[in-house]
Amino acid sequence: MRGNVFLCLNDATFNSLIPDELISSYGIPEYDEEGIQNGVIHPTFKELGESNGGKFGANPMIRVDDVEYYIVQLEASWLKGELSSLIKLGEGKSYPSNSLMTNSEASKFCSDNQTDII
């Protein structure tokens, strides 16, 4: 499966909680010992990426000029407001920090910095 957007997150955002308005879409279900969902965990982007690993794969870390960025793949919707919320993460920041990317843009970013992918 492939997501329709890629986020290039700086270290601080990657390790911070997702925005509250995204919990209904990206909260991680929590289950009791009987397998019954009993809540939703409010994850960091790192935890969300790890949880989505089975769907979208790993979240590579790319170092550019000694700054670490993480690529997180998501399925996001304009209709549910998810894309608008994700775009806000990058307001006032310089590319590539918290930039929303297409598949081809994320691929180019990774290949342009391939010697620094971890």
Residue 116 pLDDT more than 60?
no
Predicted pLDDT at 118: 53
Q: What is the pLDDT of residues 73-83, one digit of tens each?
A: 999 998 888 99
* Cα–Cα distance measured from residue 37 to residue 28, given in angstroms and rounded to the nearest whole number: 10
Q: What is the pLDDT of residues 17-65, one digit of tens each?
A: 999 999 999 999 999 999 999 999 999 999 999 998 877 888 889 999 8
Predicted pLDDT at 1: 44
The DSSP secondary-structure symbol of 4 reads S
pTM of the full structure? 0.86
Helix, strand, or coil (residue 55)? helix
Residue 94 pLDDT more than 80?
yes
Are residues 70 and 57 in contact, defined by beta-carbon separation less than 8 angstroms? no
Residue 68 pLDDT more than 60?
yes
* Cα–Cα distance measured from residue 59 to residue 52, given in angstroms and rounded to the nearest whole number: 9
Band (114; pLDDT cuts 50, 70, 90): confident
